[in-house]
């Protein structure tokens, strides 16, 4: 048995390689989603100020002089300009949606079609999809649905003294309401729909596993 952890979009091997291409049991996926604006902002902060490896800094150098996230979003809202480099504040928008959607051409941008495909994959190919905001609950579900891989993981996590590394700004930012709404109702509209649906499904799975 092999466990592979990586950042990469969902691959439907049977569709891509043809029926019978997999001689053994197809891969079993698990995944997490995070509140979309928090994920986008965290990714931006990590790119510019986070604790990154030498290789990561090589292919995308860190720019400590980059504008704060919300300043960048507000500029994009006002200008209507969304074309971004890898270090831009909107470049990684809808990355979670694309992750579950896969490699189909409809997955390249946030859309209703991408949402339908993403949810179909999450519900058919993933043993569990949780939310980062309830990581402890997700680990309990993994113990129930894949005990051969995850037995005891919830207790190990609960005993850990450090659960995450986070990137903090030195100064607090003022969040412009228009910029926040721009992300929620426009840029990340379909990813918010994905997040809401995944969370509902996750809560149902918790109840099915008889977890609080």
For 180-190, the pLDDT digits (tens) are: 999 999 999 99
State yes or no: pLDDT of 169 exceeds 90.
Answer: no
Most confident of 2-6, 17-21, 82-86, 141-145: 141-145
Q: In this predicted structure, what is the pLDDT of residue 150?
A: 94
Tens digit of each residue's pLDDT (9 = 90 or more) over 68-120: 999 999 999 999 887 778 789 999 999 999 999 999 999 999 999 999 999 99
Region for residue 210 given its phi and psi (left: phi exceeds 0; alpha: psi -120 to 50; beta: otherwise) = left
Contact 48, 63 (CB under 8 A): yes
Q: Which residue has the tokens 């197809």?
A: 26
Average pLDDT over residues 149-168: 79
Sequence-ordered alpha helix ranges (H) in the chain: 13-17, 36-49, 54-59, 69-79, 95-101, 112-125, 135-145, 147-150, 153-159, 177-182, 189-208
Band of the pLDDT at 15, cuts 50, 70, 90?
A: confident
For the segment 36-43, the average pLDDT, to the nearest whole number, is: 94
Is pLDDT at 146 greater than 90 in this prediction? yes
Q: What does the alpha-carbon distance between residue 191 and residue 34 come to, in Å, rounded to a whole number?
A: 10
Copy the structure tokens of residue 83.
């074309």
The alpha carbons of the chain give a radius of gyration, in whole angstroms, of 19
Q: Which residue has the tokens 């799975």?
A: 205
Give pLDDT, residue 166.
Answer: 53
Cα–Cα–Cα angle for 73, 78, 81, rounded to 5 degrees? 75
Helix (H) or strand (E) segment spanning residue 29? strand 29-33
């Amino acid at each position: 048995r092999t466990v592979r952890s990586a950042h990469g979009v969902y691959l439907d091997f049977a569709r891509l390689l043809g029926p019978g291409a997999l001689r053994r049991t197809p891969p079993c996926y698990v995944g997490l989603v995070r509140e979309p604006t928090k994920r986008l902002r965290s990714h931006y902060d990590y790119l510019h100020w986070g604790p990154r490896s030498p290789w990561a800094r090589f292919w995308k150098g860190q720019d400590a002089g980059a504008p704060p996230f919300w300043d960048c979003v507000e500029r994009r809202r006002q200008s209507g300009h969304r074309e971004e480099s890898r270090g831009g504040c909107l470049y990684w928008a809808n990355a979670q949606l694309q992750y579950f959607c896969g490699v189909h051409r409809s997955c390249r941008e946030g859309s209703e079609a991408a949402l339908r495909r993403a949810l179909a994959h999450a519900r058919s190919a993933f043993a569990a999809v949780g939310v980062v905001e309830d990581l402890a609950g997700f680990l309990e579900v993994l113990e129930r649905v894949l005990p051969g891989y995850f037995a005891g993981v919830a207790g190990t996590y609960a005993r850990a003294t450090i659960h995450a590394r986070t990137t903090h700004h030195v100064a607090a930012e003022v969040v412009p309401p228009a910029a926040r709404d721009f992300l929620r109702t426009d840029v990340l509209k379909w990813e918010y729909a994905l997040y809401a649906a995944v969370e509902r499904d996750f809560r149902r799975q918790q109840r099915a596993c008889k977890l609080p």
